[in-house]
Amino acid sequence: MSLSDPIGDMLTRIRNAGRAKHESCVIPGSKIKRSILELMKEEGFINGFEPVTNGSFEDFKVALKYDLTKRPVIRELVRVSKPGRRVYMKSEEIRPYKNNMGTMILSTSKGIMTSKKARKLRVGGEVICKLS
């Protein structure tokens, strides 16, 4: 099966698993997905992830995170830049998202990073997604 937006598929799998109160979900692996998941772990949106071999392919098993009332920590997970419409931001345009309670993940010339780090390094790039 060929996907036109594998990152969007990853975000949808995480969003749906959280709404269904699953402990984890399995995502087909790639380098960009690994770096997005690492940022989500650093920012505290997921508990972690581990590579799982699926034949000759590598998948990721993502451990979802919930608060004390069993609500998902990820309240909002939105894909911003899509294959049909790319969204870019200059470093001067990057603002705090949701009063610094959320974060944006950007693909910059210096790698995948959060909006806070991109603003600090004064680099812009493609907005991959928004989390809160």
Residue 93 near residue 128, CB atoms below 8 Å: no
Whether the predicted model's global pTM rises above the 0.85 cut:
yes
Tens-place pLDDT, residues 53-105: 988 999 999 999 999 999 999 999 999 999 999 999 999 999 988 888 899 99
1 has a pLDDT exceeding 80: no
CATH class, range 6-131 = alpha beta
The confidence score (pLDDT) of residue 2 equals 53
Helices (H), 20-128: 31-42, 115-121
Between vectors from CA 92 to CA 90 and to CA 93, what angle results, nearest 5°?
A: 65
